[in-house]
Each structure stands twice: as C-alpha cells, then as structure tokens.
Amino acid sequence: MLHITKKHNGKMEGMQSLSTSCETNKYCLEHSKIEGSICSKCYAQRQMKMYKNMSECFQRNAKELTSRVLDFDELPLTNVLYFRFEAFGDLINTTQVINYFNICKKNPNTKFALWTKNPFLIKPVANQKPDNLQIIVSSMFINKEVDITKIPFADKVFTVYDKETIKKENIDINCGAKSCLSCHLCYEKNDVIKINEKLK
C-alpha cells in the first residue's frame, strides 16, 4: 500500500503528498553532485537521514510505483482539494508517471501538482496528462530559470534564487513566505508561469 504523507511542516503544513526517496533515485544522487545545483543543497536528503522510518516508507513507494502500472483499485482515493506529488524525491521512470496520471484520473475533484527535474520521463506519455494535474519543472541551478517553452506539457517553472540575485535583478518572490494550502498558486491553472523562491 502506498504511503501518503499527511503531516507536513512549514509552508506544506496541512497538505498531503505522495513521494519517493531521493536516497535511492539515481537522478537525485547524480544531481546532488553537481556544483551550483539546487540538489547539492537538498533538504530532503537531510531529512531522510534524520527520519529513517520516513525514508523507508518513501523507498517502498518508489518500488511500488516504478515496478509496474498499478491496478485502478490499488490507487489511493483522496478527500482533499490539493495534493502534491514528490515533496521529497523526483521521478524515476515513466511507469511512475503513468501511475501518477492514473491517481489523478481516479480523483477528478482533487487538483494535483507534480514537481520534477526529469521532464524527459513524462514526454513519452505527455498526451495522456490529466486536466487536474499541473506539471512544474524545477530549475536545476540556483538563479538560473530553466526554459520551459521547449516543454509543451509543462505548466510552470520553479526556480530558487539567492538574496543577492533577488536584489540585483528585482526577482518577484512569490513562494515560500506563505502556506501552500492557502496560496495554491502552483495547483491552479492561472496566468502565473514562474514560481520563485528565496534560497533558505
């Protein structure tokens, strides 16, 4: 059975999410070694080391979500308006993408958002993307927004900036100082394409 995280702290307080482990994701491990990448400052890796039970749950999620396409009756039902995919990890393969798409289809009244640095895993099945899912491509490097104009199935781009760049380039910081549950900017279809956060 998939483990859904129902207790979050900080801006995610009150939200629910379904995540896999960054500790066993080959892409996360590779990205964390890239100097200047946001992954080199990964908060999730620090949390996994602190909370072993959480790490084990996410590793089980990864195994279940990536090994096969789950039957519809194996997918979770939600009773929330907003739900996040990958609060602590990232996509591992396209099978996982299909399972996330199917969870969205099983829960048409929930608005989902998926954060990823691996949009190439979505591309093979992008034509199956559900209407109630927002795909948010996370910029790999601090202060460098990824160009999503070449990723037609992406809805938004998420970029982290340091305080010097924010001041120098007058970056509009529209994430981080408020609750996701009350903001839900990332989960709704709207005119805001760029989600910017200050480096912690």
The shares of helix, strand and coil residues in the chain, as percent rounded to the nearest 5, are 40, 20, 45
Measured in degrees and rounded to the nearest 5, phi and psi for residue 166 equal: -60, -45
pLDDT of res. 109:
97
Q: What is the pLDDT of residues 38-74, one digit of tens each?
A: 887 766 566 655 555 778 999 999 999 999 999 999 9
What H or E segment, with its residue span, contains residue 26? Answer: helix 26-31
Tally DSSP H helices, then E strands, for the chain. 6, 7
pLDDT average per 10 residues of sequence, the chain (200 residues): 90 94 84 82 61 80 97 96 95 98 98 97 98 97 95 97 96 89 94 94
**Chain position carrying tokens 């929330």:** 80
Neighbours of 137 (CB within 10 A): 24
Give the number of other CB atoms < 10 A from CB of residue 73: 7
Q: Could you identify the residue written with the tokens 């990824």?
A: 146
Q: How is 31-89 classified by DSSP, letter by letter?
A: HTTSTTBGGGG-HHHHHHHH-HHHHHHHHHHHHHHHHSPPPGGGSPP---SEEEE-SS-
Model pTM? Answer: 0.93
Which pLDDT belongs to residue 83? 98
pLDDT of residue 131: 98
Angle between helices 52-67 and 94-106 (to 10 degrees): 90
Q: Which amino acid is at 91?
A: L
Token pair of 111 as six digits? 């608005």
- Predicted pLDDT at 43: 63
By C-alpha distance, which of 175, 164, 179, 180 is closest to 197?
Answer: 175
- Output the pLDDT for position 37: 82
Structural domains in the chain (count): 1
The kind and range of the H/E element at 136 are strand 133-138
What pLDDT score does 50 carry?
A: 54
- CA geometry: angle at 35 spanning 167 and 136, to 5°? 65
Q: Return the half-sphere exposure (C-beta side, CA atoms, 13 A cut-off) of residue 120.
A: 2
pLDDT recorded at residue 92:
97
What is residue 105's DSSP assignment?
A: H
Q: What pLDDT score was predicted for residue 48?
A: 57
Structural domain of residue 134, as residue ranges? 4-198
